[in-house]
């Protein structure tokens, strides 16, 4: 003879409730992970670059103009330089002048930073004190 309790559900009946506790646990863990990793992703420094018209300045005859084209080639006035060593030597001669001439860098907007950085490094190693960048005025005039 079997004893049957009427309070317990039969094994054949399905449970109609969904256990949401594991789902809530997973969502809380994901939320914590996102809150920790978002500041790591956005570590760039917020910089608002200037948008001003360039200042007009007269080029003096002793001003040295170094150009960097879009391909990264370096020019001393209008003559193309084949290697960075010749640029350093020319800049050392400019640095030895008294008073020292200003070096103006005309870099194409499409040029890589690396090509411009090579010119700046050569100028620094040569001891150039005055370096300027030649730019164009914005199209809208602001």
Q: Is residue 72 part of a domain?
A: yes
pLDDT band at 132 (very low <50, low <70, confident <90, very high): confident
Which neighbouring-strand residues pair with 81? Answer: 74
E-state strands within 50-111:
64-68, 74-76, 79-81, 103-107
pLDDT for res 63: 83
Is the model's pLDDT at 33 over the cut of 80? yes
Q: Is residue 103 part of a domain?
A: yes
- 56 φψ region: left (φ > 0), alpha (ψ -120 to 50), beta (else): beta
Q: Is residue 2 part of a domain?
A: no
pLDDT for res 97: 87
Q: Coil, helix or strand for 42?
A: coil
> Which one, of 35, 80, 43, lies nearest residue 90 by Cα?
80
Mean pLDDT along residues 135-142 = 66
pLDDT for res 15: 63
Q: Is residue 40 part of a domain?
A: no
> How high does pLDDT run on average in the chain?
77
CATH of the domain at 88: 3.30.420.270
Q: Is residue 21 part of a domain?
A: no
Residues of the domain holding 71: 64-133
């Amino acid at each position: 003879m079997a004893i049957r309790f009427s309070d317990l559900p039969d094994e054949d009946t399905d449970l109609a409730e969904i256990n949401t506790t594991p789902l809530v646990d997973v969502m809380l863990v994901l939320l914590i992970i996102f809150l920790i990793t978002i500041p790591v992703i956005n570590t760039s420094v917020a910089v608002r670059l200037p948008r001003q018209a360039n200042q007009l300045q007269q080029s003096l005859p002793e001003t040295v103009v170094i150009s960097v084209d879009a391909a990264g080639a370096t020019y001393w006035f209008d003559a193309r330089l084949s290697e960075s060593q010749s640029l350093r030597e020319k800049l050392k001669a400019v640095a030895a002048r008294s008073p020292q001439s200003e070096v103006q860098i005309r870099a194409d907007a499409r040029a890589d930073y690396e090509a411009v950085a090579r010119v700046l490094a050569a100028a620094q190693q040569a001891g150039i004190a005055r370096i300027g960048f030649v730019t164009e005025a914005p199209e809208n005039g602001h």
